[in-house]
Amino acid sequence: MKRKKRGHLKNMALFMFLLLVACVGYFLVVNGVIHYSSKLKSFGIIKQEEHNTASDKYGWELMLVNRDNYVPDIYEIDFMELSNGQKIDSRIYPYLQEMFDDARNAGVYPFVREGYRTAEEQQQILDDKIAAYRSEGYTKHMAEETAMEWVALPGTSEHQLGIAVDINADTSKCSRDDVYNWLLENSYKYGFIQRYPSGKTSITGVANEPWHYRYVGKDASEAIHQSGMCLEEYIDTLD
């Protein structure tokens, strides 16, 4: 009788353990944690719970989002939809419009190719980039590492804040270089910075992107422009 009772208790304990695992697994799948955690592990990045949450202690325009600072779980945006359907935070619209108007008056014709993105859209872009490198013969590890130089992991992309835009040129009227060069010289006047400049990849974790601009406010943009710092370096001077 004792052996049967012990066996019954062991079976009950095993059943309860498996039930607990199943419940936890369901919770993680529903909340998307397994999907993102598996991505983090595949990239050799520390677990999501060990990341910081981006802070707005210096103001919303200086919220630092990168591999170490995730977009807050609750982050509300008052959207403004542009004429081509792209969305941005309405607070940056006046400055973006002024910058584009002045650029056109100078003979260059920019437009917003990418504005706000959801986490799901960011994930798809990353998956597509990895697949592209894999099709070129990269190993899985190398494809993931190389893709991460160009595409941020969901939760770490400024596009999810709505205050970063990818700007391209209307090539029927001017070249991409015309737009990129004008932005590089003038964007700070309107509160924007080139977020991922050349020579700063070791700090930002992202390769040079001459099309990616981020609103930081006019005081910060002028300081960053004059000093040659990237946003991470500028934030460090405020701490």
Question: In terms of pLDDT, which residue wins out, 13 or 115?
Answer: 115
Kind plus residue range of the DSSP H or E element containing 37: helix 33-42
Decide: helix, strand or coil at residue 6: helix
> How many CB atoms are closer than 10 A to CB 227?
11
Give the whole-angstrom CA distance, residue 230 versus residue 158: 14
Find all residues with CB under 8 Å of 167, minimum gap 6, and list them: 110, 111, 112, 113, 179, 183, 211, 212, 213
Q: Is 224 exposed, middle or buried (0-12, 13-18, 19+ CB in 10 A)?
A: buried
Mean pLDDT, the chain, integer: 85
- Residue labelled with tokens 């309405």: 90
Decide: helix, strand or coil at residue 59: coil
Q: Give the model confidence (pLDDT) of 79-89 as tens digits.
A: 999 999 999 99
- Sign, CA torsion 109/195/57/77: positive
The distance in angstroms from the start CA to the end CA of the chain is 69
Residue 149 pLDDT grade (very low, low, confident, very high; cuts 50, 70, 90): confident
Of 114, 121, 145, 209, catalytic: 209
Give the whole-angstrom CA distance, residue 94 versus residue 56: 21
Q: What is the DSSP letter of 200?
A: -
Give the whole-angstrom CA distance, residue 37 versus residue 60: 27
Model confidence at 42: pLDDT above 50: no
Q: Is 22 exposed, middle or buried (0-12, 13-18, 19+ CB in 10 A)?
A: exposed
209 tagged catalytic: yes
Q: What is the DSSP letter of 190?
A: G
**128: amino acid identity, one letter:** D
Instruction: Give the mean pLDDT of 202-225.
Output: 96
Residue 15 pLDDT grade (very low, low, confident, very high; cuts 50, 70, 90): low
- Neighbouring-strand partners of residue 110: 169
How long a stretch of residues is the chain?
239
Residue 32's pLDDT is 35
**47: amino acid identity, one letter:** K
| Rg for the chain, CA atoms, rounded | 23
